[in-house]
């Protein structure tokens, strides 16, 4: 009887900003429509809006900030994963408009993502919950899933799922 070779289906899921890449894009905070503060992606992760404040993500929609981003250390792991033929996903808080630019950024390193999930639909979107939902669907289709993110809330919710989680 011939022995059938069994291979594990692995998924590697990366956040984009401050995980795979660093960009100069900033989140603007407006108070009653007037710009009042400028936040980095990391500062945005913990900022709480006060009364009359809103977020302005216009710089995060500009593809030049993404294409000209600087790779971070995990880009080497992403290159290896892609070269080995595993499923590589991007799961970002950015709006869908950023998808093509993120694909362009990855192409600079000969990486093609199986899918780029952009969950930042509106400023009211609960990003951690949206990422958790997408992550659940990826987990359902793979034997082992690895998740890399820089945000505590995203890591906390992902830790409740059947995946291996790494905060960067």
Backbone dihedral angles phi then psi of residue 38, each to the nearest 5 degrees: -125, 130
| Cβ(95)–Cβ(60) below 8 Å | yes
CA-only gyration radius of the chain, Å? 17
pLDDT at 44: 85
What is the DSSP annotation of 57-76? -HHHH-HHHHHTPEE-THHH
- At 77, the pLDDT band (50, 70, 90 cuts) reads very high
- At 1, the pLDDT band (50, 70, 90 cuts) reads low
Beta strands in 78-141 (DSSP E): 87-92, 115-118
Any idea of the CA torsion for 59, 63, 67, 69, to the nearest 10 degrees?
Answer: 10
Task: State how far Cα 94 lies from the chain centre.
Answer: 8
pLDDT at 5: 54
Counting Cα atoms < 13 Å in the Cβ hemisphere of 147 gives 28
**What number does CATH give the domain 10-23+63-167?**
3.40.50.1000
pTM for this one?
0.89
| Cβ(89)–Cβ(9) below 8 Å | no
Reported as a single tens digit per residue, the pLDDT across 31-73 is 998 999 999 888 888 899 999 999 988 888 889 999 999 999 9
| Three-class secondary structure of residue 31 per DSSP | strand
Task: State how far Cα 76 lies from the chain centre.
Answer: 16
- At 6, the pLDDT band (50, 70, 90 cuts) reads low
Task: State how far Cα 41 lies from the chain centre.
Answer: 12
Q: How far apart are CA 116 and CA 38, in angstroms?
A: 27
């Amino acid at each position: 009887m011939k022995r059938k070779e069994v291979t594990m289906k692995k998924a590697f899921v990366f956040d984009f900003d401050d995980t795979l890449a660093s960009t100069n894009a900033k989140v603007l905070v407006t108070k009653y429509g007037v710009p009042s503060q400028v936040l980095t992606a990391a500062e945005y992760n913990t900022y709480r809006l006060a009364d009359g404040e809103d977020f302005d993500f216009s710089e995060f929609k500009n593809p030049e900030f993404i294409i000209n981003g600087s790779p971070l250390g995990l880009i080497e792991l992403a290159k290896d994963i892609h070269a080995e033929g595993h499923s590589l996903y991007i799961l970002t808080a950015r709006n869908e408009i950023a998808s093509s630019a993120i694909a362009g950024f990855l192409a600079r390193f000969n990486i093609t993502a199986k899918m780029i999930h952009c969950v930042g639909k509106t400023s009211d979107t609960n990003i951690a919950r949206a990422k958790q939902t997408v992550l659940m669907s990826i987990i359902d289709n793979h034997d082992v899933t690895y998740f890399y993110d820089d945000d505590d809330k995203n890591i906390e919710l992902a830790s409740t799922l059947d995946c291996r989680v790494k905060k960067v």
